[in-house]
Amino acid sequence: MTWELHLLLLLGLGLRSQEALPPPCERSTAMESSCTKFRWPSSTKMTSSLWICHWPHLQMKSCRSSVSWPQSTTTASPRNSFRNLSRVTSSPWGRSCSPGPLRTGRTALSSCRRSRMLICVSGRRSYTRSGKSWERRDSYWVMEGLLLSEMASTVKGMLQNFLDLVKTYGHIPNGGRIYYLQRSQPPLLTLMMDRYVAHTKDVAFLQENIGTLASELDFWTVNRTVSVVSGGQSYVLNRYYVPYGGPRPESYRKDAELANSVPEGDRETLWAELKAGAESGWDFSSRWLVGGPDPDLLSSIRTSKMVPADLNAFLCQAEELMSNFYSRLGNDTEATKYRNLRAQRLAAMEAVLWDEQKGAWFDYDLEKGKKNLEFYPSNLSPLWAGCFSDPSVADKALKYLEDSKILTYQYGIPTSLRNTGQQWDFPNAWAPLQDLVIRGLAKSASPRTQEVAFQLAQNWIKTNFKVYSQKSAMFEKYDISNGGHPGGGGEYEVQEGFGWTNGLALMLLDRYGDQLTSGTQLASLGPHCLVAALLLSLLLQ
């Protein structure tokens, strides 16, 4: 077979279906294949370090690792001591920081635009694997850690970059390349602004950008809504949805090969669902593998057919925050608008996603017309977001965790109970998912539920410390099936760093610093011996 024919076959993948769906990118390469090799004229050079951060006392640093741990024989510092530590230590975000120039090293091709402000990227994959120069979902937990480290100016710069993107594109693309423009990421920008304003009281910055925050939420209203009928009433909720054909440019060969396993007429749908899965941040998970005869195969992905509990929880919290923002700025009309939007979403979530018998929220399958009752930590995301009306839901959530036997896992909360080989499934555990459950349970007035929240925090910190002691690095995910190790699975090797792991570690140290230990014995979370486990842990010190 001649090379010309090989080329025609490659370029012809999905041509039949591209009549129905737009291509994955608006620009074409010299080979006339959308986005497979496009080079943006003003590509941004980025550092090869895992962090590019502005230090108040140390000028610019290029940091390879993350949290500096206390000695293994001591307890973590109390809250005030920890805050003081972050001001005086030379490397609270890294074990080996050395002066380094900004934006040197690797060149990130096909960048959408240059960032006006300094950014902190979340890990090595952010610039080597996919060319992403930001990860908004990661950045929420990164910012939490930066604010605890008194790095508010860096957070403001990151926020300004995101706001500029919304002004330019109408939303925040999935990453820093032109072919990510069709995808967003979970809508956490308003939540980030809230954390920054709460820390700095910079109301002027909020007032300057409140319209841009509204524009980003409008993107989700216009492009990602779906109507669901429950109990004879129609409700409007949101989903992840990227109606563009062709393989993902960043994973072109993998997607093209995967498409060979499905009928030709289903390939464009498969590629669109893969993009929606990437937009969700859970790329990939059994949460989305609901459409084929074998639910463990990636070819069964149907992301857009699910109404996710966590996406709607994020939007619910954003609507509440927008109402509070506008009230603070004296705009009662807009404050009332967002208050009403939140009330509508809260009613929809309770009608469609909430399960009173189980005590949790569940993704809703649009095709099957029922909830997906599999366990995922995202099932408790509305609790984390404060999107509920019944104060007892935190205690109901605790019973749900007990019934699901989640509290028997000693090294962290698993991402699911299904081992599909995908990275957002068992046995992996991820920092932000620990946060969803821990902070959700901590909202309860019940001492027992609060104690479980602490024990979950204790288990996660000890896992982080154990792996850090062995590897001298933090990781984006952890394998909790066998004593705690760096995670695996999915489309790439586990990444060091890592922004949201660092951020959550700092958050937990700040919240529970006078209780947490860094020993090697992991506290048991048997539901009937929580107090005994805590006392044993204290005695072992």
Mind telling me the catalytic residues?
Answer: 283, 476
Exposed e or buried b for every residue in 18-49, given b needs 16+ CB within 10 A?
A: beebebbbeeeeeeebbbbebebeebbebbeb
Nearest in space to 335 (alpha carbons), one of 323, 350, 325: 323
Q: Considering only CA atoms, give the Rg of the chain.
A: 23
CA-to-CA separations, 351 to 230, 304, 346, 354, in angstroms, rounded: 7, 20, 9, 6
Q: Give the Cα separation of 427 and 420 in Å (integer).
A: 9
Q: H helices of 442-529, where?
A: 447-471, 499-512
Task: Give the total residue count for the chain.
Answer: 541
H helices, E strands: number in the chain? 17, 17
Question: In the chain, what are the helix, strand and coil shares in percent, each to the nearest 5?
Answer: 45, 10, 45
Quick check: helix, strand or coil at residue 334? helix
HSE on the CB side for 132, CA within 13 Å?
29
Nearest in space to 401 (alpha carbons), one of 436, 425, 369: 436
Q: Give the Cα separation of 464 and 162 in Å (integer).
A: 30
Q: Give the Cα separation of 28 and 332 in Å (integer).
A: 47
Nearest in space to 162 (alpha carbons), one of 131, 141, 193, 183: 193
